[in-house]
């Protein structure tokens, strides 16, 4: 079992339906409700196509992490500002 993050994509419409992080599926905000299942395997929420896993590029992941860090920093900054005023 590895902690490699995967992007879960549809073979037919190439929509990203979610991400597999630490072995858990995080559904994409664009996919509301549970993924339709056929034959025990989850399917695309848009077209019902087969899904495949694509390892997330490390640089892409680094960018995502940076975004989160940036969000946290700006939130902390806002809190500081509201305290100062
Ligand atoms: Zn699809």
18 CA to centre of ligand 1 in angstroms: 12
List the domain boundaries for the chain.
6-84
pLDDT tens by residue, 30-78: 787 777 787 788 899 889 999 999 998 776 666 666 777 777 777 888 8
Query: CB 62: neighbour CB atoms within 10 A?
Result: 10
At 85 the pLDDT is: 61
Is-contact 35 49, C-beta < 8 A? Answer: no
What is the Cα–Cα distance from 61 to 82, expressed in whole angstroms?
Answer: 32
51 CA to centre of ligand 1 in angstroms: 8
The residue whose two tokens read 């929509």 is: 15
Minimal CA–CA distance to 49: which of 36, 31, 40? 36
The model carries a pTM of 0.59
CA-based diameter of the chain, in Å? 59
At 21 the pLDDT is: 87
19 CA to centre of ligand 1 in angstroms: 15
Q: Which residues pair with 12 in a beta bridge?
A: none
């Amino acid at each position: 079992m590895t902690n490699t993050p995967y992007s879960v994509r549809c073979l037919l419409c190439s929509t990203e339906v979610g991400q597999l992080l630490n072995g858990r599926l995080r559904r994409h905000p664009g996919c509301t409700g549970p993924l339709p299942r056929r034959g025990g395997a989850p399917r695309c929420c848009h077209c019902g196509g087969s899904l495949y896993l694509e390892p997330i590029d490390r640089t892409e992941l680094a960018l995502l992490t940076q975004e989160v860090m940036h969000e946290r920093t700006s939130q902390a900054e806002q809190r500081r500002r509201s305290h100062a005023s």
